[in-house]
Amino acid sequence: MCSLHRARGSVLVIFLLLHSATSFYLPGLAPVSFCEPGQAGKENEVPDCKSTIEVFVNRLDSVESVLPYEYTAFDFCAIDSEKRPSENLGQVLFGERIEPSPYKFEFKKKVDCKPVCTKSYNTNKPEDKAHLDFLKKGMLLNYQHHWIVDNMPVTWCYDVEDGQKFCNPGFPIGCYVTEAGRPKDACVVNSDFKDKDTFYVFNHVDITIHYHVVENEAAGARLVAAKMEPKSYKHTKVEAPDCTGGPMYLNNKFSGELKIGYTYSVQFVEDKHIRWASRWDYILESMPHTNIQWFSIMNSLVIVLFLSGMVAMIMLRTLHKDIARYNQMDSVEDAQEEFGWKLVHGDVFRPPRKGMLLSVFLGSGTQIFIMIFVTLFFACLGFLSPANRGALMTCAVVLWVLLGTPAGYVAARFYKSFGGEKWKTNVLLTCFLCPGVVFADFFVMNLILWGEGSSAAMPFGTLVAILALWFCISVPLTFIGAYFGFKKTGIEHPVRTNQIPRQIPEQSFYTRSLPGIVMGGILPFGCIFIQLFFILNSIWSHQMYYMFGFLFLVFIILVITCSEATILLCYFHLCAEDYNWQWRSFLTSGFTAVYFLVYAIHYFFSKLQITGLASTILYFGYTMIMALIFFLFTGTIGFFACFWFVTKIYSVVKVD
């Protein structure tokens, strides 16, 4: 999620950022070399290479449920002796739980139908029955494995419409044929999956490892792809399987004893065309995106050009004429004939109602704006690529914690300019109001995840660590920023404020606050709604999002659109002699978040297949957090744009 630059050099910068989003690999992530067993460490051979390839397993998720589960929750083949890799904060927040697996193989050593483990169940035993029921629930909801080889996802590539191939960074644990005989999800790939009211377990995987031999370097071979195909075999001899025969099925009403044998086959293929630095491309290129993304950008640019033309016309023609006419008024009689926005010069900087709350929102919005900008900038440079799991969320959380100072400074500065004196209340609200609402929502969602036994439930230790970051780092930094904000002299306005407020005349329907606020959010939302679809897909449909160059450009367009739309409406209201612009400017662009919320509701009912009360509550709970953050972010942009505009126009007119 990132941003871009301007002027003549912006074309080159945009091209580089868009290019980097597809082929630039993560800086600082060193490639791992592999060689055949017995060659590692030999003289004149490959000194620093591995011969054993390990498969790591991540949490399982589903497009029909928001609840991810750990790999071991489904009673698959597991290994307990090895230490699991440590996750960063972003991975924990997203529910990722990476752990070692018993799937291990030697480089370039072909293996056919090797047994991994056998799971035995007896439905007369409550524990076994619970494991089997949970496995059936996972197949019914189409839960997907996520395996990792050499920090790359193991993909399942299959043909889709128009002869294209889609590579999914996950594969199902099984599938289900309904009582009516309709195959669901992955059951459509095999005509043998036809028994009614029956589950089919994918207990075998055919893995193909693609590698690239590095020439001109004594570095061995590097893995460039890991592809697999899930299969189902009912092994007649579980101890010595041959991977032949019919599928491994499980009738929904089955009772008694059952054995499921898990096996795998692996082969190695040399690929001379794919290099290590571009090994993610085959996954990313299989996802439909670029044409729609360019359509989104062009759509947004048209809106920006339209708004820019309107603002330019107001600034260069209407305002220029107004200012020239106002400045030529020499006599008192002329001054008494003032009209339009000049009339309210004595009230335009009058402190707004609820100035405390507005200043707190501005402080939190500034904090979020800088956090998003810096996060997107680093993402564009490649530091937050999909290869570095959890880095995006980790970066955002750390930045938010460290940006308490500008939040406190902005809140204190504007609160002081609004004439406020309760500085302690202002600082405390800046520290705890918006973050507290987000944390309370997140904590309730976490309780639901705990109750469901999901891997996305944050461990108690991580929860304490986040609270420590908030209270021990963010809060003191906010106090420091507020100290400097209150210490500095108040913001000097270009015109004096009258002691007696001017009466605002009766407004027409179109110049009232509510219609203007509702209309003001339409254009910014129109710039982002296509990009929003891809972001929601990456969150809820578990698709990979990596087009940070596009996102950075849309971010810049959103900032410009929010600013210009708010300035336009602010000018119209001032001409109608309505000087209450502070809250209205914040709410005008902030109303984009309401459209985001409406779109998220539409997306839930039209695009997602989520079932279950817990998943529904989680979806809307997390959506409310995103809507609040978006409201503060866009509202702050609108306020600062309008504040600059009002200060600018009233500083160039002569006021008696």
For residues 394 and 93, what is the distance between their CA atoms, to the nearest angstrom? 9
Radius of gyration of the chain (CA): 30
The owner of tokens 């708004």 is: 307
Secondary structure of residue 158 in the 3-state scheme: strand
pLDDT higher than 80, residue 392 = yes
Give the pLDDT band (50/70/90) at residue 82: low
d(CA 101, CA 434): 42
pLDDT of 4 reads 30
pLDDT of residue 340: 64
The answer to whether 529 and 295 are in contact (CB under 8 A) is: no
* Residue showing tokens 């189902």: 232
Check residues 94 and 54 and name the one with the higher pLDDT: 54
Query: How far apart, in whole angstroms, are the C-alpha atoms of residue 420 and residue 408?
Result: 15
Regarding predicted confidence, which is higher, 82 or 607?
A: 607
Assess contact for 82 and 107: CB atoms under 8 A.
no
For residues 189 and 141, which has the higher predicted lDDT (pLDDT)? 141
For residues 15-42, give the mean pLDDT.
Answer: 54
Q: What is the pLDDT of residue 288?
A: 56
DSSP 591-636: THHHHHHHHHHHHHHHT----SHHHHHHHHHHHHHHHHHHHHHHHH
Q: How confident is the model at residue 18 (pLDDT cuts 50, 70, 90)?
A: very low
> How many Cβ atoms are within 10 Å of 349's Cβ, its own excluded?
23
What pLDDT sits at residue 496?
A: 82
- CA distance to 229, 359, 426, per residue, from 350 (Å): 68, 14, 19
Nearest to 147, CA basis, from 105, 109, 195: 105
Question: What pLDDT sits at residue 289?
Answer: 57
0.75 cut: is pTM over it?
A: yes
Q: What is the pLDDT of residue 531?
A: 81
What CA–CA distance (Å, rounded) separates 531 from 592?
Answer: 14
- The string of pLDDT tens digits covering residues 590-622 is 999 999 999 999 999 998 888 889 999 999 999
Give the per-residue pLDDT at 383: 80
DSSP string, 607-618: T----SHHHHHH
Position 29 scores a pLDDT of 63
At residue 551, what is the residue type?
L
pLDDT band of residue 495 (cuts 50, 70, 90) is: confident
Residue 198 has pLDDT above 80, yes or no: yes
pLDDT for the residue 11: 29
d(CA 439, CA 431): 12
Q: What is the pLDDT of residues 546-591, one digit of tens each?
A: 778 888 888 998 999 899 889 988 888 888 888 889 999 999 999 9
Q: What is the DSSP string of 19-41?
A: HHHHHPPPTT-----B--TTTBT
Asked if residue 419 has pLDDT above 80, the reply is: yes
Position of tokens 């817990």?
614
- Any idea which of 96-105, 176-185, 306-315 has the lowest mean pLDDT? 306-315
The two structure tokens encoding residue 282:
């085959």
Check: CB of residue 85 under 8 Å from CB of residue 56. Answer: yes
Cβ atoms of residues 265 and 211 within 8 Å: no
Where b means 16+ CB within 10 Å and e means fewer, 101-129 reads: bbbebbbbeeeebebbebbebeeeeeebe
Residue 346 binned pLDDT confidence (cut-offs 50, 70, 90): confident
For residue 249, what are the contacts with CB-CB under 8 A and spacing of at least 6?
195, 198, 199, 200, 201, 232, 234
Q: Which own/partner contact pairs does 649-653 have at CB distance under 8 Å and 24+ positions apart?
A: 649/319, 649/323, 649/341, 650/345, 650/348, 650/349, 650/493, 650/494, 650/495, 651/494, 652/323, 653/323, 653/326, 653/327, 653/342, 653/345
DSSP code string of 271-328: -SS--GGGTTHHHHTTSS-HHHHHHHHHHHHHHHHHHHHHHHHIIIIIHHHHHHHHHT
The token pair at 629 is: 């953050």
- Whether 16 shows a pLDDT value over 60: the answer reads no
Residue 381 φ/ψ, nearest 5 degrees: -75, -10
How many residues belong to the chain?
656
Q: What are phi and psi of 273, to 5 degrees?
A: -100, -30
Query: Tens digit of pLDDT for each residue in 310-334?
Result: 777 776 766 666 666 666 655 444 4
- pLDDT score of 467 more than 80: yes
Cα→Cα distances 357→261, 561, 573, 643, 647, Å: 62, 25, 23, 17, 22
Question: Which whole number is the average pLDDT over 73-96?
Answer: 82
